[in-house]
């Protein structure tokens, strides 16, 4: 094993980060350093209001820090324009939002395929997941979306063209997970991804996310209050009053 293998370049590197919602407010987040290695599985935990969702939004480039640097995949995210951050996110980050953010007038399949519309890279990677005889791009993408939905027990609902608005909250959460996974982005971020599931289905669902991430060598960053799941992660990051403990 080389020195490089022992200390791979971090996929996420936060440095001197401060975040406040208003310029005259005190910092909600104050993180001197957070490095995440490629392929690591990180659980972020902490009391309600401690800034977990805000931290995820900073990592995904939805918002930018008041001070400090954020490097993702070696690229400086905080100095990019909003449009560049949107492109970067579409290409490299799958995000399961706390409120799912599904588009109500699109079908289940169309929701899952959204990242492939915004990102050529995700489209090509999703297409490459379909081995075998050459298919048309749209067929290959649909097949990959269906594979993910079937893994998540939603194949039937997708084939029956059930509107997303008629899905249970737990089903919507799984559609959001399939959408985040499609095209194997390097980083999967999930905000309370098991909150709408029964206790006995949480571990199965998370195992599935972990397996998909491992197969595609994705880095997984999850916020959860569920202590029972912590053994499934490589590292826990505890946020208290906006600082890492
Ligand atoms: N858009 C916003 N404008 C101003 N304040 C906000 C905004 N979004 C969140 N906040 C505040 O930032 C603080 C941290 O919120 P955040 O959602 O990051 O916490 P959290 O740790 O994820 O909480 P929870 O576990 O309840 O989801 C809260 O006090 C919240 O009210």
Contact 31, 244 (CB under 8 A): yes
Pocket test of ligand 1: the residue of 20, 28, 95, 221 to mutate, having most ligand atoms within 8 Å of its CB, is 28
Specify the pLDDT at position 239: 95
Quote ipTM for the complex: 0.96
**pLDDT band with cut points at 50, 70 and 90 for residue 23:** confident
Specify the pLDDT at position 183: 96
Separation between Cα atoms, residue 59 and residue 54, nearest integer Å: 9
Contact 225, 43 (CB under 8 A): no
Spans of all domains in the chain: 40-64+87-244
Please indicate whether residue 26, judged by its CB atom, sits closer than 6 Å to ligand 1: no
Least Cα distance to 34 among 58, 10, 6, 51 occurs for 10
Pocket test of ligand 1: the residue of 29, 43, 46, 49 to mutate, having most ligand atoms within 8 Å of its CB, is 49
Separation between Cα atoms, residue 30 and residue 32, nearest integer Å: 7
Q: How far is the CA of 20 from the centre of ligand 1 (A)?
A: 11
132 pLDDT more than 90:
no
Least Cα distance to 190 among 169, 171, 213 occurs for 213
Q: Which residues contact 80 (CB under 8 A, 6 or more apart)?
A: 61, 88
Q: Which residues contact 166 (CB under 8 A, 6 or more apart)?
A: none
Separation between Cα atoms, residue 220 and residue 187, nearest integer Å: 6
Give the helix ranges, DSSP H, for the chain.
Answer: 3-6, 52-59, 82-92, 108-118, 120-128, 137-151, 155-159, 169-181, 199-215
Least Cα distance to 188 among 59, 119, 113, 94 occurs for 94
Separation between Cα atoms, residue 122 and residue 145, nearest integer Å: 12
3 pLDDT more than 90:
no
Q: What confidence tens digit (pLDDT) does each residue in 150-184 have?
A: 998 898 888 888 889 999 988 999 999 999 999 99
CATH classification (class only), 40-64+87-244: alpha beta
Strands 219-223, 187-191: pairing is: parallel
Question: Atom of ligand 1 at shortest distance to CA of 22?
Answer: 4
108 pLDDT more than 80:
yes
Please indicate whether residue 219, judged by its CB atom, sits closer than 6 Å to ligand 1: no
**pLDDT band with cut points at 50, 70 and 90 for residue 4:** very low
81 pLDDT more than 60:
yes
Q: Whose CA is nearest to atom 8 of ligand 1?
A: 54
Please indicate whether residue 68, judged by its CB atom, sits closer than 6 Å to ligand 1: no
Please indicate whether residue 242, judged by its CB atom, sits closer than 6 Å to ligand 1: no
Please indicate whether residue 195, judged by its CB atom, sits closer than 6 Å to ligand 1: no
Pocket test of ligand 1: the residue of 24, 54, 195 to mutate, having most ligand atoms within 8 Å of its CB, is 54
Question: Atom of ligand 1 at shortest distance to CA of 54?
Answer: 18
Question: Taking the complete model, does pTM exceed 0.90, yes or no?
Answer: yes
């Amino acid at each position: 094993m080389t020195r490089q293998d022992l200390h791979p370049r971090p996929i996420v590197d936060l440095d001197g980060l401060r975040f406040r919602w208003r310029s005259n407010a005190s910092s909600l987040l104050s993180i001197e350093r957070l490095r995440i290695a490629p392929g690591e599985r990180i659980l972020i935990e902490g009391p309600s209001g401690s800034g977990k969702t805000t931290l995820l939004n900073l990592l995904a480039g939805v918002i930018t820090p008041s001070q400090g640097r954020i490097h993702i995949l070696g690229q400086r995210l905080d100095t990019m324009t909003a449009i560049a951050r949107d492109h970067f996110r579409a290409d490299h980050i799958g995000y399961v939002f706390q409120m799912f953010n599904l588009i109500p007038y699109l079908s289940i399949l169309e929701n899952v395929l959204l990242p492939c519309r915004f990102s050529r890279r995700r489209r090509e990677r999703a297409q490459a997941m379909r081995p075998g005889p050459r298919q048309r791009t749209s067929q290959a993408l649909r097949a990959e979306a269906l594979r993910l939905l079937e893994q998540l027990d939603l194949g039937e609902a997708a084939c029956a063209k059930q509107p997303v608005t008629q899905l249970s909250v737990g089903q919507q959460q799984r559609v959001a997970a399939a959408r985040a996974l499609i095209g194997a982005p390097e980083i999967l971020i999930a905000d309370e991804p098991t909150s709408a599931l029964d206790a006995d289905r949480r571990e199965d669902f998370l195992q599935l996310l972990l397996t998909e991430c491992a197969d595609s060598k994705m880095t997984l960053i999850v916020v959860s209050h569920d202590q029972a799941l912590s053994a499934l992660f490589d590292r826990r990051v505890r946020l208290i009053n906006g600082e890492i403990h």
